[in-house]
Amino acid sequence: MLFPYWLTVIIVSLALYGLWHVLRDLLGLWSGRAAGKTLSASLIVIVRNAEDSIEDNLRRLLYETALEPAWQEIIVVDHASDDLTPAILDRLAACYPLLTIVHLPLSARPVVDAIPFCQGEILEIIDLESRVRGADWDAAIRRLVRR
């Protein structure tokens, strides 16, 4: 049975497309990117003048992370705090090796300047400086830990 030329072109194109996907998946398996391998993640937490809540928030975050490890590292960016936040962060970092503290001036761009400190393949950002407050922090952490 002979197929029309246009049908032959479509069948060959689909076969080549399928072959390309099979080869790509095999290459991924060969290079160590197995389907079940989890990617490492880094969390950036941006803070500014949060001396009243930062210790409780970070301890809760570290507790949730200890129960269900979600991040390879947690980078806390102090964006030019002029209260006791830097001292609190430095004290917590001395107790928890998972924490990395980055102190930046007000003229810095906190996310852009913190990215070089991240080693994870996935980057998650929580902005306590201007976006996440109170109960939203708890909800965000629970959702991220159980992603």
Residue 109 has pLDDT above 70, yes or no: yes
Grade residue 105 by pLDDT with cuts at 50, 70 and 90. very high
- Both tokens of 87, joined, read 């001292």
When the pLDDT of each residue in the chain is averaged and rounded to a whole number, the result is 86
**Angle CA 118–119–122, to nearest 5:** 85
Could you tell me the fold of the domain covering 41-145?
Spore Coat Polysaccharide Biosynthesis Protein SpsA; Chain A (3.90.550)
Q: Where are the domains of the chain?
A: 1-35, 41-145
Report in angstroms the alpha-carbon separations of 69 from 20, 35, 118, 135, 147.
36, 20, 17, 21, 11
DSSP string, 55-122: HHHHHHHHHHHHHS---SEEEEEEES--SSHHHHHHHHHHH-TTEEEEEE-TTS-HHHHHGGG--SSE
The pLDDT value recorded for residue 2 is 77
- Give dist(CA 13, CA 33) in Å, integer: 27
Grade residue 133 by pLDDT with cuts at 50, 70 and 90. low
Can you give the pTM of this predicted structure? Answer: 0.70
Coil, strand or helix at 36:
coil
Grade residue 47 by pLDDT with cuts at 50, 70 and 90. very high
To the nearest whole percent, how much of the chain has pLDDT over 70?
Answer: 89
Q: What is the per-residue pLDDT across 59-87, written as a single tens digit (0 to 9) for each?
A: 988 988 888 888 889 999 999 999 999 99
Residue 6 sits at φ, ψ, to 5 deg, of: -65, -35
Grade residue 36 by pLDDT with cuts at 50, 70 and 90. low
Among the ranges given (56-60, 113-117, 130-134), the one the predictor scored with the smallest mean pLDDT: 130-134
Residue 35 has pLDDT above 60, yes or no: no
Grade residue 43 by pLDDT with cuts at 50, 70 and 90. very high
